[in-house]
Amino acid sequence: MTVNNKANNLGLEKYGIKNLGSIYHNLPTPALYEQIVRRREGLMAHLGPIVVRTGHHTGRSPDDKFIVREESSHDKIWWSKANKPFDVARFDSLYHRLLAYLQGKDIYVQDCYAGADPQYRIPVRIITEYAWHNLFARNMFIHILNEDELGKYIPDFTIFSLPRFHATPDIDGTSSEVFIIVNFGKRLIIIGGTSYAGEIKKAVFTVLNYLLPQEKVLSMHCAANVGPEDDVALFFGLSGTGKTALSTDVNRRLIGDDEHGWSVDGVFNFEGGCYAKVIRISAEQEPQIYECTRKFGTILENVAIDSHTRRLDLDDASLTENTRASYPISHIEHSIREGTGPHPKNIFMLGYDAFGILPPIALLTPEQAAYYFLQGYTARVAGTEVGLSKEPQAVFSPCFGAPFMALPPTSYGELLLESINNHKVNCWLVNTGLVGGGFGVGKRISLPHTRELIRTAISGELSTSPMEKDPIFGFRIPSACGNVPKEILKPAKSWKDGSAYTREAKKLVAKFIENFKQFGGEVPRAVMESGPRVDE
C-alpha cells in the first residue's frame, strides 16, 4: 500500500495538479475495501463482495460523450451522434476548473494496462476521487505485478473520474452536467457528474478502437472463449444480448467477456476483468457469474442488499434493470489468465430481435457476416442507458458498438471481412430475443436452447446438417438441432399467422435497407448485395 503526499513523485505535476490531500497509489484490493468502508462509499455483503450505489445515473450517458476536435485526430474520427465534437478551448477551460476542484482532495491512482498482448497494450493511469472507482479500474484492467516494471511505468493515456465535479452546460458547451470527453491530442479523458463506473471502461475501449485499427488490429465489442481443441469462439453483441452468459461456459475457458483485439497472431483480451449484468441471474442458469456475486473483490452496482443481514437480492430491480458485477477474470474458474488465444473458428453475432423475425441461429457467408456486422441489429434493453423506455427498442448499432467506435464503421468492417476470409471462420447470426411471434406474442428464447445451438455450431455438427436458404434474408437456417424444438428454428413457420410474419418481415427488411444506405459505396459490392431483399 502506498500513500504519497508528493504529487511530483508520480509525475502528477505534468497534469497541472496542485495542493492535493493524500495520494493513494496502486492500493491492492483489501486496502481499497478499507477505504470504501471507512468513507462510507459502500457496504460489504455476505461472503465478501462490496455493494455500491451509482445514484441517478445507473447506466451510460451516451448524449454526454464528446471527442475533442483537435488537429492530430479530427480527420480520422467518425463524427456522428456517438462522437460529437468538443471545442479545444472549452476543454481547456473545463479541465482547469477540474484541477481547481481537486485542490485539497484525496485521490486514488491506479496504474495498469489495457490490452493483454504486450505488442499492442497501452499503459493507462486512472485517477479517481472514489476508492470504489479505483477498485473498479483494478478489476477491469490488467495489473502490473512486477515492481521494477511499475517503477518504470509511464502512462500513455490518463483518465480522471470525478463524479462530484459537474459541468455547467451554458458555459462548457456540454449537454448536461455530466461529461465524458476524450482528448486524443493530450492523451486525456475527463469524466464528471456521473458515478456509473462503466463510463471508465468504455472510454478506454474508445481509445483502443481509435489506435489499434490504425495498426491493422481489429478491435471488437465481443466476448471470447476457447475449447479443449484451441477452438476460439467470438460473441458479438450489445449489452443484454447474452455475450457474457453465452461465453461463460463451464465446458470452455473464458478469454474475456466484452472487449478484444484480433491481430495477425490471434485474439487478445483488452481487459483483466468482467462487467456482467446480474439482474435475476441464478445458480442454475448462469452458475459461474452467480458465484462471482459471492466473492471478495467483486463490486456490485445497484444490487439490492439487506443492510442488517447483508444478504443480496439479485431479483430486485427497484433501482435499475442494469445491476452490474465487476470482478477480476480470475474469479471465473478455468479462465485464461494470459488473456490471449489463437485465431477464432466460429463467430456468433448476437441480437435481441424485438420483432421475432430472425431465426434462433443462421449460417452466414463471409459477406453476409460483414453486412450484419456493419448493421449491428439488436435492441437496447431497458436500463443499459439513460432515457430508455421499459419496452425494448430495436436499433442499428454499427459494429455492435457504435457508441465506442472512434473510426468510421467501414474501417472495422474491412478488417473483419479480411480476417474471416484469411482464417476460414464460420459465422453465425443468433437471435437471443423473441421467437414464435412479435413483441407481446412471442417469448424470449430460453438460454439453454441458445446454448445448445451454440454448442452444436462450435462442434461442427450444425454446419454440416441439412439447411434451408431463407427466401427473404438469404442466410441458411438449420432444419434441426439437438433438443431445440424444431418449430422455433424457422420463424416463418413458428408464427400462427404466416401472412403476419411476411408483413412484419418486410417492415424489418425495409429498415435494414434504409440503414445500410449510410455506407453507400464504401463497402464491396458483394457485401452490399448480401443483405435481405423483398420483391415488391
Catalytically annotated residue among 121, 202, 253, 449? 202
Strand partners for 328 = 273
Cβ partners under 8 Å of residue 466, min gap 6: 478, 479, 480
Catalytically annotated residue among 25, 54, 58, 60? 60
Phi, psi (degrees; rounded to nearest 5) at 480: -155, 155
Catalytically annotated residue among 125, 138, 201, 243? 243
Catalytically annotated residue among 128, 158, 244, 335? 244
345 is catalytic: no
325 to each of 49, 278, 472, how far by Cα in Å? 9, 7, 40
Instruction: Round to whole Å and give the CA distance between 231 and 253.
Output: 10
For 42-52, b/e burial (b = at least 16 CB within 10 A) is bbebeeebbbb
Catalytically annotated residue among 117, 258, 353, 470? 258
The CA radius of gyration of the chain, in Å to the nearest whole number, is: 23
Cβ partners under 8 Å of residue 403, min gap 6: 60, 62, 65, 82, 202, 397
202 is catalytic: yes
172 is catalytic: no
206 is catalytic: no
Catalytically annotated residue among 58, 161, 239, 320? 239
180 close to 189: Cβ distance less than 8 angstroms: yes
Instruction: Round to whole Å and give the CA distance between 236 and 234.
Output: 6
Catalytically annotated residue among 57, 324, 331, 449? 324
244 is catalytic: yes
Catalytically annotated residue among 143, 221, 345, 380? 221
253 is catalytic: no
221 is catalytic: yes
For 11-34, b/e burial (b = at least 16 CB within 10 A) is ebeebebeebeebbbbbeeebbbe
For 83-92, b/e burial (b = at least 16 CB within 10 A) is bbebebebbe
The residues that are catalytic are 60, 202, 221, 239, 243-244, 258, 324
